[in-house]
Chain A
Amino acid sequence: MDKPKVDKTFRFPTCMEEMPLGPTVKAGILTETNAGWRVKRPVIDRDKCIHCLICWTLCPDGVLSKELEIDMDFCKGCGLCAHECPKGAITMVSEVDGQ
Chain B
Amino acid sequence: MISKEAHSLFLNGDEAVAHGVRLCRPHVISAYPITPQTITVERLADFVADGDLDTEYLYVESEHSAMAAALGAAYTGARPFTATSSQGLLYMCEMLHYVSGARLPIVMMNACRSTAAPWNIFGDQRDSLSQRDSGWIQIYCENGQEALDTIIQAYRLAEHPEVYTPVMVCIDGFVNTHTYELVEIPAQEQVDAFLPPLDSRHKVDFANPHGFSVSVNPNYHTEFRIQQQQAILKAAELAAPIDAAYKEKVGRSWGGMVEEYRMDDAESCIVAMGSAVGTIRETVDELRAAGRKVGLVKVRYFRPFPKDYFAALSGKVKAIGVLNKEISFGYEGSLTTEVKAALCGRGPVAVCGYHAGLGGRDISRDTIRAVYASLDRLLAGEDVNDPNYIDARW
Where the two chains meet, the residues of A that have a C-beta atom closer than 8 Å to any C-beta of B are: 12-13, 16, 19, 21-28
Contacts and interface: CB of A to CB of B under 8 A. Distances in A.
B209 A22 contact: no
B223 A24 contact: no
Given A12-B220, A24-B202, A19 B227 contact: yes
Contacts of A13: 220, 223
Which of the listed residues A16, A19, A24 has the most CB atoms from chain B within 10 Å of its own CB? Answer: A24
Given A21-B164, A21-B202, A22-B227, A27 B101 contact: no
Contacts of A23: 101-103, 212-216, 224
B210 A24 contact: yes
22 contacts: A12-B220, A13-B223, A16-B226, A16-B227, A16-B230, A21-B201, A21-B202, A22-B164, A23-B212, A23-B214, A23-B216, A24-B102, A24-B201, A24-B212, A24-B214, A25-B210, A25-B214, A26-B209, A26-B210, A27-B209, A27-B210, A27-B211
A80 B126 CA distance: 56
A27 B224 CA distance: 18
The number of chain B residues touching the other chain, given as a range, is 20 to 34
Contacts, number: 51
A26 B102 CA distance: 14
Given A16-B226, A22-B103, A23-B224, A28 B214 contact: no
A80 to B, nearest CB: 27
Contacts of B102: 22-24
A54 B223 CA distance: 45
Interface string B139-164: 00000000000000000000000001
B138 to A, nearest CB: 19
A25 B226 CA distance: 17
Contacts of A25: 210-211, 214
A8 B242 CA distance: 44
Interface in B73-96: none
B30 interface: no
B14 to A, nearest CB: 32
A28 B226 CA distance: 26
B228 A22 contact: yes
Given A22-B101, A22-B164, A28 B224 contact: no
A19 B214 contact: no
A16 B229 CA distance: 12
A22 B103 CA distance: 6
Contacts of B220: 12-13
B223 A19 contact: yes
Nearest to A18: B223
